Chain A
């Protein structure tokens, strides 16, 4: 496409047709779910096995192998789709590959064993989209993760990739802003600020240079949707950013991505190179006078860098510290120039909105929260993975219909949204629709989309303590309330879990929590007390039980529990005796054992290893 400094202006429609004409729908294709999670669960071995086996059977020209991003249902990977036929296999290993080629690809027969089995009905399911986990989802932002090879720009162009950029360049900034406004899209980083207002403010702001920054510093424990999109469809991010850059008048964009995402960085790098080759980035994009380029900046993994003012400081190479707003980044951002900061999910929505129109986007969702929302559904649910649902779906539908309910027959206890600074909601709120306003009202936040489901074996005081340990450690320490206040809250919570709580502790936590929220500088301090405040609000009895009776009802807090062996159940199998790391278990083989409390470190290994349910926790 490129000859020295001259870029041939490409006709996208023509290019797409040319790509499609080279492809045949009847050609046997294996689509393997890749991504970090797929690779971690063994997809790389499956890919190698296919490559070797196809070569061996002289089929490497006949059968196309395509490695996509993560399909979302992480729990059943490695997974793949065989076309034609749209046959979905999960839990595939390298040993299955020979059989898949001979049986399914050549003989067109389905291997029953590799089909997904619905755990409720026992039914074998042939197509990925018919699996209950996917059925209630509306996968728009995640759609490309099953459709394209992220390293092949032609795959992206074949599904109308960069068509939105071409369209946007002919629409002009004002028209683009109109469409974005009409779509009702709100920032997907968590705060839900209307995207069009952010863009418009930056466009209007005075400044010779303007910047657009993609916030890919996904720091919430248990959240991995941004990573999945960056790995599975990096061109969507580039296209969205380029449209943004054109709208606000920027010439440079930065993708701030955490270093812990090596695969996403690699895919982005390659995608940027390809976009340059095709003239979607660089000088005079698609023959217009608009020039734009994108650079990758790797973060070192500090949670606080996900907060916008910190993120900008980090790009500048300065010590990371939150700063007071205003001035907002839209007026004074990177190197004091007007800057737009958008989350990955916001940016990949932009090409979809431009291509499909504002009404298509706003057609689903609630009155104030439009479009779809992605959650990393994790914790004690049967089906964990990445899900995308219309805004306004209830928590119950998400957890039970998509997540398949609570694993191992346990009872639901709480669900936390919004990452380490989000709140925990009880069963009574499960029928609440998920949108920005409802979550805030209930005492939690949308955040960037983490959703952690907890079962009856979870201690809510310990949950609050755990999350506060995280936020207190990740606080930058600049402002007094966040630095000092969260430490005091953590000390109090730690005391309660150790059985050293006082009657007034709950009142101190509540008052101090709301003061920290009121007085802190940035979003971290303003949300860090939420896990404590929401667990007190909805699970107060559990706090009281810890404080007054020195008991942990969920039997989690080590200082408050005691392991003992039930005489009538112990068979003297000696297993606990052998597994105990501190020789606290005493007893001869075939005789009832007992535990020496002074030696017991409450690791729970005896309880887990006992096959006769003889080890009690009190």
Chain B
């Protein structure tokens, strides 16, 4: 068992428990996007950031992703410090600039006050401008990878996968043809947080 403190509350959890799961024990809500309890921790979207410090350690406090980070003995976790909120807001702004038409992202943006025009927040203003521009690269997919992971880990088919690197990264079927291994179970569309996947009958 390991003992840690989250937002001033102590909690004891079995070895290997993630910080996110430990926070759940305390009914502390941490927003997530690419997380699903049935899938392996991924840590890609960075929504579930929290701040971790170890008292009397030479290591300065650091931002960690709670969904993938194991609970450590003696760790002090803050889920809503200024640094955490700033980092999380930045992630939402980046996703909003990419997916301004997604309801899920719009809701998150609202919750984190992304639309409130603060003239001193230059990054937010820049990214809001990008969201409102006629950018043809706008999409609904946030590249959280829930679809590819459920297909690989639970369905066992790997009918879709990531392709490309960096900003060219996309979710694709092999060679962009109708996937030969897709069984049409719809798990990917069901899990997609932004409803970016539509199921159609292949003709």
Contacting pair A324 B90 (CB below 8 A): no
Interface residues of A in 325-339 (CB under 8 A from B): 326-327
Contacting pair B91 A519 (CB below 8 A): yes
B98 part of interface (Cβ distance < 8 Å): yes
Cross-chain contact of B43 among A324, A473, A474 (Cβ < 8 A)? A324
- Chain A, Cβ-Cβ closest to B44: A478
B141 part of interface (Cβ distance < 8 Å): no
Residues in chain B near residue A319, CB distance under 8 A: 161-162
Interface residues of A in 468-500 (CB under 8 A from B): 472-481, 483-488, 492
Contacting pair B63 A515 (CB below 8 A): no
Contacting pair A507 B165 (CB below 8 A): no
B 27-66 to A, binary, CB cutoff 8 A, 1 in contact else 0: 0000000000000010111100100000000000001110
Of B5-13, B107-115, B122-130, B188-196, the one contacting chain A is: B122-130
Contacting pair A521 B46 (CB below 8 A): yes
A297 part of interface (Cβ distance < 8 Å): no
Residues in chain B near residue A485, CB distance under 8 A: 90, 94
C-alpha spacing A511/B122, complex, angstroms: 8
A323 part of interface (Cβ distance < 8 Å): yes
Cross-chain contact of B166 among A326, A487, A520, A521 (Cβ < 8 A)? A487
Contacting pair B94 A323 (CB below 8 A): no
Residues in chain A near residue B90, CB distance under 8 A: 481, 485, 512, 515, 519
Contacting pair B126 A508 (CB below 8 A): yes
10 nearest interchain CB pairs?
A477-B169, A324-B68, A475-B166, A324-B43, A484-B94, A487-B167, A519-B87, A515-B90, A507-B122, A478-B44
* A480 in contact with B165 given A324-B69, A515-B123 (CB within 8 Å): no
B 136-154 to A, binary, CB cutoff 8 A, 1 in contact else 0: 0000001101000000000
- Chain A, Cβ-Cβ closest to B88: A519
Cross-chain contact of B164 among A477, A488, A504, A518 (Cβ < 8 A)? A477
Q: A-B pairs with CB below 8 Å: how many?
A: 105
For the complex formed, measure the closest distance between the CB of B22 and the CB atoms of chain A, giving whole angstroms: 15
- Chain A, Cβ-Cβ closest to B119: A504
Contacting pair A473 B97 (CB below 8 A): no
C-alpha spacing A319/B41, complex, angstroms: 16
Residues in chain A near residue B87, CB distance under 8 A: 515, 518-519
Residues in chain B near residue A512, CB distance under 8 A: 90, 123, 126
For the complex formed, measure the closest distance between the CB of A576 and the CB atoms of chain B, giving whole angstroms: 40
Contacting pair B69 A326 (CB below 8 A): yes
Contacting pair A480 B91 (CB below 8 A): yes
For the complex formed, measure the closest distance between the CB of A331 and the CB atoms of chain B, giving whole angstroms: 10
What are 8 A-B residue pairs whose CB atoms fall within 8 Å in the complex?
A319-B162, A323-B68, A324-B65, A480-B45, A484-B94, A484-B97, A486-B166, A515-B87
A9 part of interface (Cβ distance < 8 Å): no
C-alpha spacing A520/B43, complex, angstroms: 10
For the complex formed, measure the closest distance between the CB of A525 and the CB atoms of chain B, giving whole angstroms: 10
- We find that the number of chain A residues with CB closer than 8 angstroms to chain B is 35
Most buried by A among B123, B142, B162: B123
A304 part of interface (Cβ distance < 8 Å): yes
- Identify 18 new A-B residue pairs, CB closer than 8 A, beyond the known A326-B70, A472-B166: A475-B165, A478-B44, A479-B46, A480-B44, A480-B142, A484-B97, A485-B94, A486-B167, A488-B97, A488-B127, A504-B122, A507-B122, A508-B122, A508-B123, A508-B126, A518-B63, A518-B87, A519-B49
A302 part of interface (Cβ distance < 8 Å): yes
B3 part of interface (Cβ distance < 8 Å): no
C-alpha spacing A487/B165, complex, angstroms: 12
Contacting pair B44 A518 (CB below 8 A): no
C-alpha spacing A492/B97, complex, angstroms: 14
- Chain B, Cβ-Cβ closest to A472: B166
Contacting pair A324 B143 (CB below 8 A): no
Residues in chain B near residue A511, CB distance under 8 A: 122-123
Contacting pair A477 B143 (CB below 8 A): yes
C-alpha spacing A507/B123, complex, angstroms: 8
Contacting pair B98 A481 (CB below 8 A): no
C-alpha spacing A547/B186, complex, angstroms: 50
Most buried by A among B43, B87, B95, B130: B43
C-alpha spacing A218/B151, complex, angstroms: 34
Contacting pair A302 B165 (CB below 8 A): yes
Contacting pair A474 B166 (CB below 8 A): yes
C-alpha spacing A519/B143, complex, angstroms: 17
Cross-chain contact of A488 among B44, B70, B95, B130 (Cβ < 8 A)? B130
C-alpha spacing A504/B95, complex, angstroms: 21
- Chain A, Cβ-Cβ closest to B142: A480
C-alpha spacing A473/B165, complex, angstroms: 7
Residues in chain B near residue A488, CB distance under 8 A: 94, 97, 126-127, 130
Contacting pair B98 A519 (CB below 8 A): no
B172 part of interface (Cβ distance < 8 Å): no
